[in-house]
Amino acid sequence: MAIKTGISGWFSWLPFGQVPSITAAYAVRDLQQYQLIDVRTRQEFNKSHIPGAISIPLHNLKNNRINELPTDKPILCICLSAHRSKPATRKLIKAGFNAMELKGGMLAWWKLNLPLEN
């Protein structure tokens, strides 16, 4: 995949705007139906993460890592507050994946006291 240059490529990395999303309350009903991608830093991930999530920090979400992702499940991008997950979701959608973000990120997950691993 070619890297997009210019203003439109730059805008895709902004943490604003809309991308497909689901709430924590909805996602927790059947986590196995998603490939969970946590785009926070490795340190954040190691403190606590959603069971089954894999860590791919946003700055490492490059073509070689994207090409390793399964295509048989929708991808749910997770970050702390749904700012880093927006550009990650956009990048995955552009690469042809069915991707969405966890609305409100880990802050929403923690607020509902949902399952965690560390």
Superfamily of domain 17-111: Rhodanese-like domain (3.40.250.10)
Q: Which amino acid is at 54?
A: I
Residue 5's pLDDT band, with cuts at 50, 70 and 90, is very low
Q: Which amino acid is at 59?
A: H
d(CA 54, CA 36): 6
Q: What is the pLDDT of residue 7?
A: 42
- Check 24, 79, 80, 82 and give the catalytic one: 79
DSSP-derived secondary structure for 69-116: S-SSS-EEEE-SSSSSHHHHHHHHHHTT--EEEETTHHHHHHHTT---
Query: Is 77 an active-site residue?
Result: no
Arithmetic mean of pLDDT over the chain: 89
d(CA 42, CA 36): 15
| CA neighbor of 53 nearest in space, from 62, 64, 40 | 40
Q: What is the pLDDT of residue 64?
A: 87
User: Does position 4 have pLDDT exceeding 80, yes or no?
Assistant: no
| pLDDT, tens only, 50-107 | 999 999 999 999 988 999 999 999 999 999 999 999 999 999 999 999 999 999 999 9
